[in-house]
Amino acid sequence: MFPSLAHRPWHAFCRVSMQNRAPLSQRSPRLPQLCHGWQSAGIHSMWFSLPDCRVASLGLGKVQYYSTSGSSKDDPPKPASGDAPSAEQVLSAASIPVPTAPTPQGLTKTETIQVKVRAVLKKREYGAKYTINNFITAVRAMNEFCLKPSDLEQLRKIRRRSPHDDTEAFTVFLRSDVEAKALEVWGSHEALAREKNVRKEVEREYQETDIFRNQQLLKEYKDFWGNTKPRSGPRATFLEGPGKVVMVAICINGLNFIFKLLAWVYTGSASMFSEAIHSLADTCNQALLALGISQSVRNPDAGHPYGFSNMRYIASLISGVGIFMMGAGLSWYHGIMGLLHPQPMESLLWAYCILAGSLVSEGATLLVAINEIKRSARIHGVSFHEYVMQSRDPSTNVVLLEDAAAVLGVIMAASCMGLTSLTGNPYYDSLGSLGVGTLLGGVSAFLIYTNTEALLGRSIQPDRVQKLTEFLENDPAVRAIHDVKATDLGLSKVRFKAEVDFDGRVVTRSYLEKQDIDLILNEIQLVKTPEELESFMLKHGENIIDTLGAEVDRLEKELKQRNPEVRHVDLEIL
């Protein structure tokens, strides 16, 4: 019935099976089935005008597409002329005369059949590894492909959005161009691999020659390779904040340890020995805290991209264990030995004087720690108790608790020594040693618990999470927020991660607002073929994806500006 339909130039073929709305006796016969070897590609329709009364009662027919790639023995026969008709010829062939027949009453002489023809774009297979469209930086190009800066001068340079907040754009190269240049320079992949091995061997030998100096130089180079952000200037770590509190505590506790040790040697008091051990433990632990503070302010590097802020929690955790082992353990041991083997004590006058001096000095350090915590709690908008319980600043917390325990320990030791002086019973002094050990054990248990919770990666407070989520949801480009994770990294640093469902219409409108609409309309009018349509869509599709990336960067930047504690933001497109 439609002989020209069997010879379309596209890779699509349609079969028309018509449904008769007239009585069965007046139905037109179905067209024969197509030959085997064709694959169904969908159901569509297009319009034909049949000027005959026999088909006047025909309803809307089903059109089924069939596609194939290549010829086979099952393909439809080719026309005698050898030329496939065009789409216009197919449409013009739709109107053909057929034998006349009586026209049923109530029906028009001409009916239309709707048939749509679809051109299917061939799917492109990329394979398991496709790196032709990859971009790499100049540092990676020189490091991975053993090139020099002069080798990169002639390559295509592409400006892309920068992943860092402090720069808007940076230059990259196509990986395929860099690989081609490397092959041009070195001749083959084998020669490039040999050069890489030679450079690794030279680096290893250079590192072994002067291990300390060269390791530092290599570390600085690798830091530069892994971190393109500008480095921060020198910090006054121990002149303000927690560093200042820790240094004051180290000096005072060191002096207290020396004086208490002399008093114990003179009097032989078990309580004075416990206090001397207590001051020694405090001095050592605070020296460890100072080391943790100095390490925590180091710049992030390739091996530690989120920095070293957890070093304060690690140092505080070790400090808690040290207090338990040295302070509580030795105090319990000396107290138990005093109960088992009591010994008379010498004059306690010097011991009282030293304890009084320790009370004043430990109290001064305690006041410094309290003032620092109050100031930090006021900055973060929380109470003093919440700041301590959440261990927001572990170093200051350790100083606070150690000095509070020291003040209570001095009062407890002085009381037990006074009872011993009044009654002459040395058991009171031994009980004071046990009391100081128990106090130190409680402090160490609290420090171990709070710092372990911080190192496990605990979430921030629910109201703060809600605040961050509402900020994102209020943006017009965001439809919904899912799977929110806000983790406390320590030192008031927060890492925020969320799955974001973006509104594609808003993102597209944001792209169109920056374009020349008349120019785009002219480009649309010039689209006549599937190839031109593909080129048009690929161009603007890539630009819309870049616009979506810019929207993500904008949200991350605004989130950090409104919430300074949020240092790392990971917004994943849903």
Poorest-confidence range of 178-192, 333-347, 451-465? Answer: 333-347
Higher-confidence position of 566 and 388: 566
Question: Residue 490 — φ and ψ, nearest 5°?
Answer: 95, 155
Rg (CA), the chain: 41
Give the count of beta carbons closer than 10 Å to the beta carbon of residue 400: 22
pLDDT given at position 38 = 40
Q: Is the pLDDT of residue 7 over 70?
A: no
Q: Is the pLDDT of residue 156 over 50?
A: yes
**How much of the chain is helix, strand and coil, in % rounded to 5?**
55, 10, 30
- Average pLDDT for 72-87: 43
pLDDT given at position 318 = 87
Say if CB 397 and CB 372 are below 8 A apart. Answer: no
Provide the CB-side half-sphere exposure for 458 (13 A, CA).
16
Q: Of how many residues is the chain composed?
A: 574
Q: Which two tokens stand for residue 247?
A: 């240094």
Give pairs for 88-96: CB < 8 Å, separation 24+: 89/4, 90/4, 90/5, 90/8, 90/117, 91/46, 91/48, 93/2, 93/3, 93/4, 93/5, 94/2, 94/48, 94/49, 94/50, 95/48, 95/49, 95/50, 95/51, 96/1, 96/2, 96/50
pLDDT given at position 446 = 86
Higher-confidence position of 210 and 530: 530
Poorest-confidence range of 44-48, 251-255, 269-273, 291-295? Answer: 44-48
Q: Which two tokens stand for residue 285?
A: 């632990």
Q: Which two tokens stand for residue 47?
A: 């319009």
Q: Is the pLDDT of residue 559 over 70?
A: yes
SS3 127: coil
pLDDT given at position 120 = 66
Q: What strand order describes the sheet that includes 478-490? A: 478-490, 493-502, 566-573
Give the model's confidence band at 79: pLDDT under 50 very low, under 70 low, under 90 confident, else very high.
very low
pLDDT given at position 395 = 79
The top-scoring range by mean pLDDT among 202-206, 408-412, 518-522 is 518-522
Give the model's confidence band at 545: pLDDT under 50 very low, under 70 low, under 90 confident, else very high.
very high
**DSSP type of residue 236:** -
Give the count of beta carbons closer than 10 Å to the beta carbon of residue 498: 22
Say if CB 509 and CB 476 are below 8 A apart. Answer: no
Q: Is the pLDDT of residue 264 over 50?
A: yes
Give the model's confidence band at 338: pLDDT under 50 very low, under 70 low, under 90 confident, else very high.
confident
- Average pLDDT for 103-109: 49
CA-based end-to-end distance of the chain? 51
Q: Is the pLDDT of residue 89 over 60?
A: no
pLDDT given at position 493 = 82
| Ramachandran area for residue 189 (φ above 0: left; ψ -120 to 50: alpha; else beta) | alpha
Alpha-carbon distances of 141 from 59, 157, 196, 204, 409, rounded to whole Å: 65, 13, 13, 21, 63
Question: What is the enclosing helix (H) or strand (E) of 212?
Answer: helix 211-226
**DSSP type of residue 37:** S
Q: Is the pLDDT of residue 436 over 90?
A: no
**Which pTM value belongs to this model?**
0.61
Share the mean pLDDT of the chain.
75
